[in-house]
Amino acid sequence: MAFERSAGVLLHPTSLPGQHGIGTFGACARAFVDFLAASGQTLWQMCPLGPTGYGNSPYQSFSAFAGNALLIDLDVLVEGGWLAASDLEGAPDFPGERVDYPAAIACKMPLLRKAAANLATCDDALDRLRLDLFGDAHKGWLEDYAFFAALKDHFGGGSWCEWEDGIRRRQPEAMAHYSGELADEIRLQEALQYFFFSQWQKLKQYANDKGVKIIGDIPIFVAADSADAWAHPELFEFDEDFRPIRVAGVPPDYFCATGQLWGNPLYDWERARATKFAWWIERIQACLAMSDIVRIDHFRGFVGCWAVPADHPTAEHGTWEPALGRELFEAVSHELGELPIIAEDLGVITPEVEELRDSNGFPGMKILQFAFDSAEDNDFLPHNYPANSVVYTGTHDNDTSHGWYHGASSKDKQFARDYLDATARNVAWKFIRAAWASTSVMAIAPLQDILGLGNEARTNV
C-alpha cells in the first residue's frame, strides 16, 4: 500500500498523565491529540491495547482481540452515569513518573467492575440494546474472552492449563455448567469490553477528525495463557495437556549471549493453512478496525521463527522453523484488500524476509540508534534509506536517544556528532531532525526524545 509522507509520535496510552495512576482514553488522550495536531504531526503510534498479564507487557496479552480495561477513563464513566462522582473521591496519590500497576489496579478495578455491573444489570432498554448489539458485532471473539476472563477469576488467576480438566478441554458439560454458574461475571466482562471499545472509538474518531491517524500494533505471537490459546488450541504446537512443545524467541546475538526466550507457543502453520487462515484474517481485520495503520511485530517470523524446546532455560539451542507468510498474506489481502501494514523487519533478516516484505509493498523499519556503530554503508544511516520505509529515532524497545548517547562508546558518540552535527545537549533533537529530513515515507519519534529525557524514561528493558 502506498503511504503519504507523514510524521508523528510513539506513545503508549498508559504513559499519558492520569488521575488514577495510569493513562486512559479520556481528556488526557484528547489533549495529546490536540498537541499532535498543533505540532503538525499526523501519526500517533502506540503498543498493543490488549489486556495484559503477568509483568503488564502489552506483548503478553490475555487476548489478541480484547481491550485493556485499565485504559477506560473513569471520568467518562461518571459522565455517562455509570459511576457517581463520589465514587472517585479518596483516590490515593500515584507517582507522577511511572505507572505503579498494583496500585492502579487496586484503585481502578473495583470502580470499573462497579460501572460494568451497573450497565450489565441496568433496566434501560436502550442501554441494554447497545450492549447486546456490541456483543453481536464482536461475537467471534467476545464470548470466548469474557468466558475465559470469568473462569480465570473463578480459578484464582491461574493459567488455563491448570484448570479442571473438563473446562480446560472445553467439554460440553463443563462449558454448560460454568457458563451458567458464571453468567453474571461473563456479562460483566462483556460490559467492560463495551466501555473500552466505546471510549476507544470516540478517541480514534477525535484523532481522525484532527487529521491524526492511529498506528496500532500486532504482536506476531500470542501468550500461552490467553483466551486465544484456550479457545483455539488446535492452532498451536501444544501437547495433549495443552502445554507448548516449543516456544518462540530469538537466537543469541550481539545484545544477548543466550538469546531471548519469549515463551510464546508456536503456530501450527499446517493447521492454519487447513482453515484458510481464518483466525489470522479475523485478527488482522479486528486490528484494522481499531487503527488506520498497523505495525506487525517480528515480521521475520512469517518466514521462519526461532523454535526452542519448551523445557530449555535459554534460547541458545533452537532451530529456524519455516512459516507460511506468503500464503497467509495472500489470503488476508484476498479477503481485506490492500493492507496498511508496517513490517517490523529487525533482527536476523534474510533475502526471503525482504522478498515477503517487498512483494506485499510493506515499508520496513529503520532505527537511527542502530546507525552509528559501523561505517558509511550501515543500512540504518539516513542516506541509505529506501523511500518505502519508516524511520524511528528509537522504539519502545530501545533506550531514549539521550540514554543511548550517554551509554555509547566514544567512537560511536563521535560518529553521531559528526554525522548529525550534534552535541551532547541537543543529540535527541538532531536525531529527530535527521529522521524528519530523510527520504523515509514516515518518521516517528518516541515522546521521550521530544522531551529530551534520558535513560530513566526508557519504556522497555
| Active centre residues (catalytic) | 297, 344, 397
| Grid cell in block for residue 218 | 500486532
Cα distance between residue 249 and residue 187, in whole Å: 36
Cα distance between residue 453 and residue 239, in whole Å: 46
Beta bridge partners of 342: 295
Instruction: Specify the pairing of strand 319-322 against strand 304-309.
Output: antiparallel
Residue 325 backbone class (left: φ over 0; alpha: ψ -120 to 50; beta: rest) = alpha
Strand extents, DSSP E, 327-405: 341-343, 364-367, 389-392
SS3 state at 347: coil
CA angle 133, 138, 144 (to 5 degrees): 120
| Grid cell in block for residue 245 | 512443545
Q: How many CB atoms lie within 10 A of CB 79?
A: 12
Q: What is the DSSP string of 101-129?
A: HHHHHHHHHHHHHHHHHHHHT---HHHHH
Residues 6+ apart with CB under 8 A from 350: 300, 303, 304
In 3D space, the residue among 129, 174, 173, 172 whose CA is nearest the CA of residue 151 turns out to be 174
CA 349 remoteness from chain centre: 22
